[in-house]
Amino acid sequence: DAGVTQSPTHLIKTRGQQVTLRCSPKSGHDTVSWYQQALGQGPQFIFQYYEEEERQRGNFPDRFSGHQYPNYSSELNVNALLLGDSALYLCASSLQGRLETQYFGPGTRLLVL
């Protein structure tokens, strides 16, 4: 049983560009949450998707958007990249009825130059 997978593992972009990160949840899970972890910090909640809709959102600008597909996989899109967007982006999956138990993927390391 594959756990949570994320792609790519590493990414380098320049300021102003756009980026798309991908996440496949653990088998059977229907809810995906995204977190941003800046260097030396704890992860911060970006948003959560369930039934292809954004269900709740953290304190992130509209440059951060997402999508969930019918197979529950999800994408995180960031537009107009800033240097401060450099971080490890973590995806977590769970079951809607068991949101307290989340499984994290290995993350995507994004570097913005």
Interface residues with another protein (CB under 8 A) are 4, 31, 33, 35, 40-45, 48, 55-56, 58, 90, 92, 94, 99-107, 109
Place of tokens 């959102």: 57
Q: How far is the CB of 85 from another protein (least distance, A)?
A: 18
- Cα(first)–Cα(last) distance of the chain, in Å? 37
Q: Which residues contact 1 (CB under 8 A, 6 or more apart)?
A: 26, 27
Closest to another protein by CB, 45 vs 79, is 45
- If the CB atoms of residues 17 and 96 are measured against another protein, the closer one turns out to be 96
- 48/68 with CB nearer another protein: 48
The CB-of-83 to another protein minimum distance in angstroms stands at 21
SS3 content of the chain, % helix, strand, coil (to 5): 5, 55, 40
Identity of the residue, 79 or 109, whose beta carbon is nearer to another protein in the bound complex: 109
What is the smallest separation between the CB atom of 16 and another protein, expressed in angstroms?
27
**Count of alpha carbons within 13 Å of 57, Cβ hemisphere only?**
12
